[in-house]
């Protein structure tokens, strides 16, 4: 089976570069985008190949991470979403999409790996951990 392809959307270059390197070290293929427009272009070109999207909830630009995730799942309904945020976790309950997790910043890479494993391999059996807040599976 080929490695999972992750779309990682982050507007902070240092976080993006580090996350890409760590995910690739773990065997994931990664496409990075620095804003919603780049992410939507990637989804249009390679959406059927993407296993999950990780996005900063407070993404700057045309669309927030919340809005980007809604548009992404409108285009690809089964796309698992992981949000990251340092200060917008309180919005997750009202802004999230189904089959999503939230990982609060600052996070350790293991939290992202765990979230990806939960969403990609078993989206129906998501269980919460202290820094990951699950949403129930799609009906």
Please give the chain's pLDDT, 139 residues, in tens: 778 999 999 999 999 999 999 999 999 999 999 999 999 999 999 999 999 999 999 999 999 999 999 999 999 999 999 999 999 999 999 999 998 999 999 999 999 999 999 999 754 333 344 444 444 344 3
Q: What is the pLDDT of residue 99?
A: 82
Whole-prediction pTM: 0.86
Count structural domains, the chain: 1
CATH number at 44 reads 3.40.50.2300
Structural domain span for residue 71? 5-134
Q: For position 121, what pLDDT does the model report? A: 77
DSSP string across 45-77: HHGGGEEEEEEETT--SSS-HHHHHHHHHHHST
| Domain contains 80 | yes
């Amino acid at each position: 089976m080929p490695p999972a392809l992750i779309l990682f959307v982050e507007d902070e270059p240092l976080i993006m570069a580090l996350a890409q390197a760590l995910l690739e070290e773990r065997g994931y293929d990664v496409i990075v985008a620095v804003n919603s427009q780049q992410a939507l272009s990637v989804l249009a070109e390679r959406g059927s190949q993407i296993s999950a999207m990780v996005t900063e909830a407070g993404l700057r630009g045309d669309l927030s991470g919340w809005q980007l995730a809604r548009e992404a799942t409108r285009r690809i309904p089964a796309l698992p979403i992981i949000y990251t945020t340092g200060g917008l976790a309180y919005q997750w309950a009202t802004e999230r999409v189904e089959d999503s997790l939230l990982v609060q910043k600052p996070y350790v890479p293991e939290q992202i790996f765990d979230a990806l494993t939960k969403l990609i391999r078993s989206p129906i059996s998501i269980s919460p951990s202290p820094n990951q807040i699950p949403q129930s599976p799609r009906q």
